Structure 1
Amino acid sequence: MIPFTGKQLQLIQLLMNRSSPVAFEELSQLLEAGRRSVYYIVNKTNEVLQMNALEPVFCKRGAGYYLKEEQKQRLSELLKNEKKLLSEVLTPQQRVSFLICCMIYPKSVIHVEDIMQLLKCSRNTVFSDLKNVKEQLKAYGLELRIDLKNGYGVEGKAFNKRAVLLYFLKQLLNEVDVHTLPFLDMEQVDDYYDRLLKISSEREHEYRKDNLLSIACMLSIIRDSPEQYDFSLMELRDLCETQELDLIDRYFQELNVHERLYLALHLLGSKASRELNPQDDEHDIRIFELSSRLVESFERTACVSFDDKNDLINSIYMHLKLSMYYNRLGIQVVNPLIDEIQKQYTDIYMITQLVCEDLRDLFQMPIMDSEIAYLTMHFGGHLKQGVRCYDEIRILVVCPSGISTSTLLKREIEGLYANVRVVDTASLDHVQDYEQQVDFIVSTIDVKSEVPVIQVHPILTREDKARIASMMMLNFDCYEINNEKLGGLFSIIAAYVKDTDMDALKRDVLAYLNHGNSFVGIRDQAHIGLLDILSEENIQVVEHAGSWKDMIQTASRPLLNRGIIQSSYVQEMIHLVDEYGPYILLANAVAVAHAKPEHGAFRLGLSLLVSHEKVFFDEVSSVRYLFVLSDAAHDKHLNVLHEILQLSRSSTLLQQLDACSCAQEVLHILQSAFS
Structure 2
Amino acid sequence: MSIIYTLDKRCQEILKILMYAKGYVKAQDLADELHISKRSIYYDLTKINEWLTDNDLPLLIQERGKGVLVPSDAISLIQKKMDAQDLGNLPVFTPEDRQYIEICTMICKNRKLYIEDFIDLCQVSRNTIINDLKAVIRFLKQYNIELHYDIKSGYEIIREAVKKRAIFFMLFPQILNHYQNRKILTEYEDEVISILSKLRHIEEELDTEYVSGILPTLALFMATLPNQHDTLNFADMDEEEIVQTKEYNLVQKYFSNLETSEKIYVTLHLLGSRLQTIPVNVSKEQGETYEMSKLLVSEFERLSYAYFKQEDELINAINAHLKTSLYRYRYGIQLGNPLLNNIKTEYEELFELTKRACHVLEKKIGTMISDAEVAYLTLHFGAFLTINQDDKKEFRILIICPNGIGTGNMLRNEITALIPQATEICNLPLSLYNENHGYDIVISTVILPNEKKLVVVHPILTDQDRVTILRNCMYTDPHAKMQIDEITKIASSYMNSTNLIKFQKSLQEYYSSIQIPKVPHRNFGQTLSYYLSAKHIQVCSKEVDWEEALRISCKPLLEDRSISESYVNAIINDQKYKGLYMFLADDLVLAHSAIENGVHHVDVSLCTFKKPVRFLNGKYARIILVLAAEDQTKHIRILNDVLDIFSKKKSIDQIVDLDSPLEISHYIATHID
TM-score by length of 2: 0.66
| Structure 1 Cα separation of the partners of residues 486 and 163 of structure 2 | 55
TM superposition shift of 1:336: 3.0
What is the correspondence of 1:270-419 to structure 2 with a 5 Å cutoff? 273=275, 278-279=280-281, 283-327=285-329, 331-358=333-360, 360-363=362-365, 366-389=368-391, 391-419=393-421
Look up the match of 2:445: 444
Does structure 2 retain, via aligned residues, the 8 Å contact 1:170–1:211? Answer: no
Residues 667, 524 of structure 1: alpha-carbon distance in 2 compared, 3 angstrom cutoff: same
1:100 aligned onto 2:144: yes
C-alpha RMSD over aligned residues: 4.9
Secondary structure of the structure 1 residue equivalent to 2:168: helix
Residues 222, 623 of structure 1: alpha-carbon distance in 2 compared, 3 angstrom cutoff: farther
Does structure 2 retain, via aligned residues, the 8 Å contact 1:397–1:443? Answer: yes
Look up the match of 2:229: 224
Greater shift, 372-381 or 485-494, is seen at: 485-494
Q: 1:641 aligns with which of 620, 639, 642?
A: 639
Does structure 2 retain, via aligned residues, the 8 Å contact 1:245–1:264? Answer: no
Does structure 2 retain, via aligned residues, the 8 Å contact 1:245–1:260? Answer: no
TM superposition shift of 1:644: 1.7
Q: 2:520 aligns with which of 512, 524, 527?
A: 524
Higher RCO (CA < 8 A, seq sep 6+): 2
Letter in 1 for 2:454: V
TM superposition shift of 1:200: 1.1
Greater shift, 391-400 or 458-467, is seen at: 391-400
Q: Deviation per CA, 1:394-426: give whole Å up to 9, x if none.
A: 212122223221111111111124423443211
Residues 267, 490 of structure 1: alpha-carbon distance in 2 compared, 3 angstrom cutoff: farther
| Structure 2 Cα separation of the partners of residues 266 and 359 of structure 1 | 20
| Structure 1 Cα separation of the partners of residues 216 and 281 of structure 2 | 26
TM superposition shift of 1:388: 0.6
Q: Deviation per CA, 1:184-242: give whole Å up to 9, x if none.
A: xx99x765676334311455597755765578669679933345556623422336765
TM superposition shift of 1:440: 0.7
Does structure 2 retain, via aligned residues, the 8 Å contact 1:398–1:428? Answer: yes
Letter in 2 for 1:385: I
| Structure 1 Cα separation of the partners of residues 366 and 341 of structure 2 | 25
Q: Deviation per CA, 1:115-168: give whole Å up to 9, x if none.
A: xx999xxxxxxxxxxxxxxxxxxxxxxxxxxxxxxxx987xxxxxx65543433
Residues 447, 460 of structure 1: alpha-carbon distance in 2 compared, 3 angstrom cutoff: same
TM superposition shift of 1:664: 1.4
* Structure 1 alignment gaps of length 5 or more: 1-46, 55-72, 120-151, 155-160, 180-185, 480-484
Does structure 2 retain, via aligned residues, the 8 Å contact 1:597–1:632? Answer: yes
| Structure 1 Cα separation of the partners of residues 247 and 419 of structure 2 | 50
Secondary structure of the structure 2 residue equivalent to 1:583: helix
Does structure 1 retain, via aligned residues, the 8 Å contact 2:273–2:325? Answer: no
TM superposition shift of 1:86: 2.2
Look up the match of 2:71: none
What is the correspondence of 1:91-130 to structure 2 with a 5 Å cutoff? 94-97=139-142, 100-102=144-146
Does structure 1 retain, via aligned residues, the 8 Å contact 2:167–2:334? Answer: no
Letter in 1 for 2:229: D
Letter in 1 for 2:463: R
TM-score by length of 1: 0.66
Secondary structure of the structure 1 residue equivalent to 2:281: coil
Q: Deviation per CA, 1:355-406: give whole Å up to 9, x if none.
A: 3324644447643333332222112111111131363532121222232211
Secondary structure of the structure 1 residue equivalent to 2:433: helix
Letter in 2 for 1:383: L
TM superposition shift of 1:603: 1.7
TM superposition shift of 1:550: 4.0
Letter in 1 for 2:623: Y
| Structure 2 Cα separation of the partners of residues 303 and 313 of structure 1 | 17
Does structure 1 retain, via aligned residues, the 8 Å contact 2:614–2:621? Answer: yes
| Structure 2 Cα separation of the partners of residues 166 and 571 of structure 1 | 56
Does structure 1 retain, via aligned residues, the 8 Å contact 2:545–2:613? Answer: yes
Greater shift, 350-359 or 189-198, is seen at: 189-198
Letter in 1 for 2:144: I
Greater shift, 321-330 or 338-347, is seen at: 321-330
TM superposition shift of 1:248: 3.6
Greater shift, 457-466 or 586-595, is seen at: 586-595
Structure with greater Cα Rg: 1
Does structure 2 retain, via aligned residues, the 8 Å contact 1:657–1:666? Answer: yes
* Structure 2 alignment gaps of length 5 or more: 1-110, 204-209
Residues 521, 289 of structure 1: alpha-carbon distance in 2 compared, 3 angstrom cutoff: same
Secondary structure of the structure 2 residue equivalent to 1:554: helix
Does structure 2 retain, via aligned residues, the 8 Å contact 1:239–1:264? Answer: no
Secondary structure of the structure 1 residue equivalent to 2:317: helix
Identity across aligned pairs (percent)?
23
Look up the match of 2:422: 420
Q: Deviation per CA, 1:573-622: give whole Å up to 9, x if none.
A: 34444544533344574442211111121222210112345445588965
